[in-house]
Amino acid sequence: MRKNIGVSEVFLQDKPAKALIFLKKENKPVYQARISKEIGSTYAHTYNVLKELEDLRFVVFRKSGRIKLVKLTETGENVADALISFLDVAQLGEIERAVDIIYEKEIKGKLREEMNKEDVEKRLSNLKDKLKEYFENKPSNVSILARKLVKKINDVMAEGLGYAPQA
């Protein structure tokens, strides 16, 4: 049986991606210990990850007394933006997959009387609710994909439930 893993585990090394995204969201220099805690890694491993990111010129270390702060470079910010956008689009793909599974298992080829309409409507509505976060403060390509996916969910609901869903 195939393990259901997320796209970030397929395409990205988990800790470096999490570190870049965390630094981008913080938008200020951060202590290495805080990054360790946020990405769920040991201090030593986080140091190695950050050194690799420094070698790639994605982060810089800045001393504050005896403590080093870590900050994204301009290149690092661009990479973090691209990672966030990539993960958003990948998450939309996972939501679309969930819609397709509901359609295949619960709607396709069934009479409406054979369906558990309440359950189907609830599950599809929950997926639509997840999509709302993609409408604002996201790149236009992500927002457009999210809106197309809402339309697909509405079409599936109309076919399966026999009426147009609430917006």
Quote the pLDDT of residue 75: 95
CATH number, domain of 17, equals 1.10.10.10
Q: Identify whether 6 is part of a domain.
A: no
Mean pLDDT of 103-109: 91
On the question of pLDDT at 88 being above 90, the answer is yes
* Of 83 and 3, the one with more pLDDT: 83
* pLDDT band per the 50, 70, 90 thresholds, residue 8: low
Q: How far apart are CA 95 and CA 87, in angstroms?
A: 12
Q: How far apart are CA 166 and CA 97, in angstroms?
A: 22
Contact 8, 18 (CB under 8 A): no
Average pLDDT value for the chain: 88
Q: How far apart are CA 79 and CA 64, in angstroms?
A: 26
Least confident of 4-8, 28-32, 74-78, 115-119: 4-8
Domain count, the chain: 2
Quote the pLDDT of residue 127: 96
The reply to whether 33 and 58 lie within a common domain is yes
Mean pLDDT of 96-109: 93
Q: How far is CA 14 from the centre of its chain?
A: 13
Contact 99, 149 (CB under 8 A): yes
The reply to whether 93 and 153 lie within a common domain is yes
pLDDT in tens, 25-80: 999 999 999 999 999 999 999 999 999 999 999 999 998 888 889 999 999 999 99
* pLDDT band per the 50, 70, 90 thresholds, residue 1: very low
pTM, two decimal places? 0.78
The reply to whether 51 and 87 lie within a common domain is no
The reply to whether 155 and 104 lie within a common domain is yes
Q: How far apart are CA 145 and CA 60, in angstroms?
A: 35
The reply to whether 50 and 116 lie within a common domain is no
The reply to whether 111 and 52 lie within a common domain is no
Q: How far apart are CA 68 and CA 148, in angstroms?
A: 45
Q: Identify whether 138 is part of a domain.
A: yes
Quote the pLDDT of residue 76: 94
The reply to whether 56 and 91 lie within a common domain is no
By residue range, what is the domain housing residue 59?
11-72
Contact 76, 58 (CB under 8 A): yes
